[in-house]
């Protein structure tokens, strides 16, 4: 029988989300020797099981759930919209910033709470990584870039110096942005695309050079 669902955040580090992205978050925590208390996920079929040896306790606690003074958490979900929604539920929860041991992050860079930086990523001087942003495996961020909260740079994506990535934006695998370009809020840049001019908010852009093919009326 599955254990009863836990409806609060006890002491320790908790993961919110138990999909494939969570496996990479776990690997990143392992690289730093950080222990995980457990995983919350709304999919009932996962309850009582383990992911990479870590127990799935039960569903994601509701807004207003109890938070122990020693609780910390990471939102281990790749969806930018989902991370933004979940982060807003728990104003008293301390969000853990997680950086893989193999990542290179310059001391002058600022990394926001809840951000995750995966293996072999690089963050160069004076760049700013927003809260709950994801720098996926091998992502490259050059000097003086600004990555908004809840943004996601896909594996092997590359930013030249001075690039601005808006909140909630997503760059697909291998996408690149030329120096001092701006990718607006909640933009989706397709895999392998090359951003050589500014992209307006809430659009989808693909190709080389990247061109807008769709506009979104709200956050995707």
Q: Give all domains of the chain, ordered by start, each with its CATH number.
A: 12-95 (3.40.50.20), 98-212 (2.160.10.10)
Average pLDDT (200-216) is 96
pLDDT recorded at residue 8: 85
Q: Residue 3: what pLDDT? A: 45
pLDDT at 173 over 50: yes
* Pair 167, 151: CB distance under 8 Å: yes
Say what the pLDDT of residue 76 is.
98
Read off the pLDDT of each residue in 178-201 and give the average, rounded to a whole number: 98
In terms of pTM, does the model score above 0.85? yes
d(C-alpha 171, C-alpha 187), whole Å: 8
Distance between CA 67 and CA 187 in Å, rounded?
Answer: 33
The yes-or-no verdict on residue 6 having pLDDT over 70 is: no
Q: How confident is the model at residue 4 (pLDDT cuts 50, 70, 90)?
A: very low
Neighbours of 64 (CB within 10 A): 11
Whether the per-residue pLDDT at 96 is higher than 80: the answer is yes
Is 152 labeled as catalytic in the residue annotation? no
Give the Cα separation of 47 and 40 in Å (integer): 8
- Which residue among 21, 47, 132, 143 is the active-site one? 143
- Residue 7 in contact with residue 67, Cβ under 8 Å? no
Beta strands at 122-123 and 188-189: parallel, antiparallel or unpaired: unpaired
Asked if residue 7 has pLDDT above 70, the reply is: no
In this prediction, residue 64 has a pLDDT band, given cuts at 50, 70 and 90, of confident
The pLDDT of residue 217: 81
């Amino acid at each position: 029988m599955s254990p009863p669902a836990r409806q609060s955040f006890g002491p320790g580090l908790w993961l919110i989300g138990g999909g494939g992205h969570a496996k990479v978050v776990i690997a990143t925590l392992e690289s730093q020797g950080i222990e995980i208390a457990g995983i919350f996920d709304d999919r009932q079929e996962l309850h009582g099981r383990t992911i990479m040896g870590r127990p799935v306790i039960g569903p994601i606690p509701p807004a207003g759930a109890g938070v122990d003074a020693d609780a910390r958490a990471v939102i281990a979900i790749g969806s930018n919209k989902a991370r933004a929604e979940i982060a807003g539920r728990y104003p008293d929860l301390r969000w853990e910033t997680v950086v893989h041991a193999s990542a290179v992050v310059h001391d002058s860079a600022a990394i926001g709470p809840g951000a995750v930086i995966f293996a072999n990523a690089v963050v160069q001087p004076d760049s700013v990584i927003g809260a709950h942003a994801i720098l996926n495996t091998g992502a490259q961020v050059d000097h003086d870039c600004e990555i908004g909260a809840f943004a996601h740079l896909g594996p092997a994506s590359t930013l030249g110096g001075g690039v601005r990535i808006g909140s909630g934006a997503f760059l697909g695998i291998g996408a690149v942005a030329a120096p001092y370009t701006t990718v607006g809020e909640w933009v989706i840049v397709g895999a392998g695309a090359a951003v050589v001019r500014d992209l307006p908010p809430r659009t989808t852009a693909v190709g080389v050079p990247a061109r807008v093919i769709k506009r979104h009326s709200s956050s995707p």
